[in-house]
Amino acid sequence: MANKTLGLEKNLYDYLHSVSLREPEVLAQLREETAQHPMSIMQIAPEQGQFMALLVQLIEAKKTLDIGVFTGYSSLVVALTLPPEGKVVACDVSEKDTAIARRYWLKAGVADKIELHIAPAQETLDRLIAGGEAGTFDFAFIDADKNNYDNYYERALQLVRPGGLIAIDNVFQSGRVADPQQQDNRTNNIRALNQKLHHDPRITISMLPIADGLTLALKLR
Ligand code: CA
């Protein structure tokens, strides 16, 4: 995992931030508070959040999925970009982490745009599909437990509309995917998904070396 872009020299990374980061104060405060969290590495990088907001704007998304909320940065950066009628359906299992998230969503004035489901994400996604919401989402961000990534991907692919976009986080696993010595479950699961996506005929893809690797999958029309 990485809460900054891997493989960039610090001076270049600092430069990138200095000339392009437009992080609203409330997001900067959330990032600062999350830095004290023992799992702060799970926070997405600010340049990644800004990029996702740009994508959401680009496809004129109104309804999005956030699979893996943690302290709420990704939900918040998207909610701030959505139009007033926009909605983020957010999935997480932790009451404790999402209590921090809720506090910042309120502070930012977008709490009414974010619908939080505290349950295993797979159950929430299955409920959405059973409830007739397949094909109604414009954007999905997958950033939860890595061993279930393929399950999340398959469900997200049903839930997004044709032309909708799925962003999959941590596809580099801090570089471990490229090291054959690393044979832990998480890394092997991400490797298998990366390989599956490479030639998946249902999507077009781009794997970006931003943060800890972010794969974009566009659902074909
Ligand atoms: Ca992540």
What is the CA(87)–ligand 1 centre distance, in A?
A: 21
The owner of tokens 């999958």 is: 217
Please state, as a whole number, how many other Cβ atoms lie within 10 Å of the Cβ of residue 200. 15
Q: How far is the CA of 44 from the centre of ligand 1 (A)?
A: 5
- CA 75 / ligand 1 centre spacing (Å): 13
Q: What is the pTM of this model?
A: 0.96
Alpha helices for 82-120 (secondary structure H): 95-107
Q: Say how many Å lie between the CA of residue 133 and the centre of ligand 1.
A: 25
Q: Measured in angstroms, how far is the CA atom of residue 143 from the centroid of ligand 1?
A: 5
Q: Give the residue among 3, 69, 9, 67 at the shortest CA–CA distance from 32.
A: 3
Rounded Cα–Cα distance for residues 212 and 214 (Å): 7
Per-residue pLDDT of the chain (221 residues; tens, 9 = 90+): 567 777 889 999 999 999 999 999 999 999 999 999 999 988 899 999 999 999 999 999 999 999 999 999 999 999 999 999 999 999 999 999 999 999 999 999 999 999 999 999 999 999 999 999 999 999 999 999 999 999 999 999 999 999 999 999 999 999 999 999 999 999 999 999 999 999 999 999 999 999 999 999 999 99
Superfamily of 10-219 according to CATH? Vaccinia Virus protein VP39 (3.40.50.150)
